[in-house]
Amino acid sequence: MCGIVGFASRTTPAVGPLVSGLSRLEYRGYDSAGVALESADGIKVYKQAGKVSALDALLARALPEAERAKYTLGIAHTRWATHGLPTTANAHPHVADGGRLALVHNGIIENHAALRAGLEKRGVKFLSQTDTEVLAHLVAAFDKGDFLSAVCDALRRVDGTYGIAAISSRHPGEMVVARKGSPLVIGVGEKDVVVASDVSAIVAYTRQVIYLKDGDVARITPEGIDIHSLDNAPVSREVQEVDWDIGAIEKGGYEHFMLKEIFEQPDALANTIRGRLDPAGGTAILSGLGLSPRELAAVRRLVIVGCGTSLHAGMVGKYLFESLADVPTSPEQAAEFRYSNPIVGPDDWVVALSQSGETADTLAAVRESIRKGALVSALCNVVGSTIAREAGRGVYLHAGPEVSVASTKAFTAQVAALLMMALKLGRTRRLSREAGDRLAAEIARLPELVSAVLARNDEIAGVAERYAGADDMFFIGRGILYPAALEGALKVKEVAYVHAEGYQAAELKHGPIALLSDKTPVVALLADIPGQEKTLGNVQECRARMAPVIGVVTEGDGAAASAVTDALVVPRAGVELSPIVSVVALQLFAYHVARLRGCEIDQPRNLAKSVTVE
């Protein structure tokens, strides 16, 4: 939530890199944006409610090209509002010290009210309702001549989470950044230094990066980077190379990132799977888990924590681990888990799922599980993310950057990774070599199976056209396809703004069926796997109430196809793979419904991609 960019150079004007960096980070929040620029004349701040394009337009009016060259140091921010309305006054950067100091912040200062009251007593006048402005004044209050020390002194008084960047005309040419609970990455260019909430705002300049750790505070100048702990002791952090380039975060000819990312799934899955199947043992090799066969065999219970789409992938995981490895598995919404004083210990394996690796509740669930002595692993997509690092062991998805706020390729990659974990765990227990071989061969076919769904994009668009006007939809599935129904409903809600509910197919008649009519399409997950005949019965119940039924059906399954009003056809796949092929069809369906309704697909209202607040 919220994106931060900082830029320090001797010669390159900062405005361009700051604004293009913000555009890359807009998925993190997009209700207002701003920049602060430093020159020999002091600091200038430009901010604007609305998207980064509105800020860009403001800068075009207010800051002529000829003047831009003098600003080679600056900070910038795109906001997802937590404290205060999304107005220009509440937009970052916030200033203090009579406009000499500017600061941008991602996170939440929990004790902001107490700090604010203290500062007000000392005569500080606040211009916004934000917690961030408090931090700006606090840093200014501690500034006795060394900027980094002032930031450390202020942050030691703060409860909560932050990624910050600050500049002050009392310390020309210097930017101080810090993180705790909100990500911050420093890009080390040949002549320039770029700081950002994630590497997508950096790779256009350099692929050499330093991932700051919680508690790090860094002084950045065009000449160098000086990293300290909050107690102001020097620390050293290694420079790492990002293993993808700018092309991965461009639309590449697609109208939307969501569509591009849906179509990237065959490649993403190939990358998730590559080198991780062991044909010789009919199992999977997931060395990042760092668990010996003895440790795996000792696992008594699995708990999978996540939020949103990641939680849905975890719910698929329950079926995989229970059926393949005989291990009781509870998928848990991460926020509920962390506050439930969870009963986990050394025999339990807690697996955290997170595309971004930064989701606040999932991170807190990881910390709570580590505290309680459980085995903890993470399945994350973003390399170097906080959850991946804190869990210490895990599997990277290697699905490539996911830019669209609606998660698509991360879901299928998560399910593929969970499937390989279940295969590995199963083979340490009762899963036979033959069953392991069969499953490994199925997993290897995933890219091909998903390509077959994508080949039906036009057909799916045609079905979407018939239902794009609906105000309400139901999605039903049973067993391993129930989480797929939840995920289909979530996709339609978030990108098409259609009220959609996912239900266990059998649950519909326990209440929700009262809402069915010819105006409420029901999407039924009808892949040809055990239990399908029961869901077909539920389809009849819906049709008897005049509800049109869109079935996700297996190719060649004439009985299922003729039971529904419209069919989204997916290739025949084993039970374990059926959620993946079904969800890909539902992603396309949601995408086309949203497109036909004229929605802002990649940046739906009120959402942000990386939810770093509770």
> Going by C-beta distance under 8 Å and a sequence separation of 6 or more, which residues neighbour residue 462?
none
Residue 547 or residue 583: which is nearer to ligand M6R going by CB? 583
How far is residue 43 CA from its own chain's centroid?
34
Q: How far is the CB of 488 from ligand M6R (least distance, A)?
A: 11
Q: What single string gives the DSSP state of each residue in 427-462?
A: HTTT--HHHHHHHHHHHHTHHHHHHHHHTTHHHHHH
Residue 73 or residue 405: which is nearer to ligand M6R going by CB? 405
Q: Candidates 1-9, 170-178, 305-313, 544-552 — which segment interacts with ligand M6R by CB under 6 A?
A: 305-313
Residue 391 binds to ligand M6R (criterion: CB under 6 A): no
Q: For the chain, give me the number of helices (H) and strands (E)?
A: 21, 26
Q: Is 70 a catalytic residue?
A: no
Residue 306 or residue 548: which is nearer to ligand M6R going by CB? 306
Catalytic residue among 2, 307, 380, 542: 2
> Going by C-beta distance under 8 Å and a sequence separation of 6 or more, which residues neighbour residue 84?
90, 128, 129, 130
Q: How far is the CB of 198 from ligand M6R (least distance, A)?
A: 11
Residue 362 binds to ligand M6R (criterion: CB under 6 A): yes
Q: Are 186 and 210 in contact (CB under 8 A)?
A: yes
Q: How far is the CB of 9 from ligand M6R (least distance, A)?
A: 32
Q: Among 611, 560, 530, 131, which residue's Cα sits nearest to residue 357?
A: 611
Residue 494 binds to ligand M6R (criterion: CB under 6 A): yes
Q: How far is the CB of 419 from ligand M6R (least distance, A)?
A: 18
**How many residues at the interface with ligand M6R, by CB under 6 A?**
15
Pick from 135, 405, 524, 573: which binds ligand M6R (CB under 6 A)?
405
What residues from 407 to 466 belong to the interface with ligand M6R (CB under 6 A)?
Answer: 407
Pick from 9, 356, 532, 578: which binds ligand M6R (CB under 6 A)?
356
Q: Is 380 a catalytic residue?
A: no
Q: How far is the CB of 107 from ligand M6R (least distance, A)?
A: 16
Report the distance separating Cα 212 and Cα 203, nearest Å.
Answer: 16
**Which two three-digit tokens encode residue 442?**
């199925």
Residue 355 binds to ligand M6R (criterion: CB under 6 A): yes
C-alpha distances out from residue 429 to 276, 327, 440, Å? 19, 10, 16
Q: Are 392 and 380 in contact (CB under 8 A)?
A: no
What residues from 584 to 613 belong to the interface with ligand M6R (CB under 6 A)?
Answer: 607, 611
Residue 55 or residue 495: which is nearer to ligand M6R going by CB? 495
Q: Are 385 and 200 in contact (CB under 8 A)?
A: no
Strand blocks (E) in 31-174: 32-39, 42-49, 73-79, 94-96, 101-109, 160-168
Q: What would the x/- binding string for ligand M6R be over residues 322 to 351, using CB under 6 A? A: ------------------------------
Phi, psi (degrees; rounded to nearest 5) at 74: -170, 170
**b/e sequence 446-458, b meaning 16+ C-beta within 10 Å:** bbebbbbbbebbe
Residue 136 or residue 305: which is nearer to ligand M6R going by CB? 305
Instruction: Give the chain's largest Cα–Cα span.
Output: 78
Residue 352 binds to ligand M6R (criterion: CB under 6 A): no
C-alpha distances out from residue 352 to 115, 156, 325, 332, 471, Å? 34, 29, 18, 10, 34
Residue 308 or residue 342: which is nearer to ligand M6R going by CB? 308
Q: How far is the CB of 288 from ligand M6R (least distance, A)?
A: 18
Residue 310 or residue 538: which is nearer to ligand M6R going by CB? 310
Q: Among 394, 446, 395, which residue's Cα sits nearest to residue 267?
A: 446
Pick from 168, 359, 412, 428: which binds ligand M6R (CB under 6 A)?
359
Residue 128 or residue 603: which is nearer to ligand M6R going by CB? 603
Q: How far is the CB of 482 from ligand M6R (least distance, A)?
A: 17
What residues from 178 to 237 belong to the interface with ligand M6R (CB under 6 A)?
Answer: none
Report the distance separating Cα 537 and Cα 251, nearest Å.
Answer: 43
Q: Which residues are known to be catalytic?
A: 2, 609
- For ligand M6R, the binding residues (CB under 6 A) are 307-310, 354-356, 359, 362, 405-407, 494, 607, 611
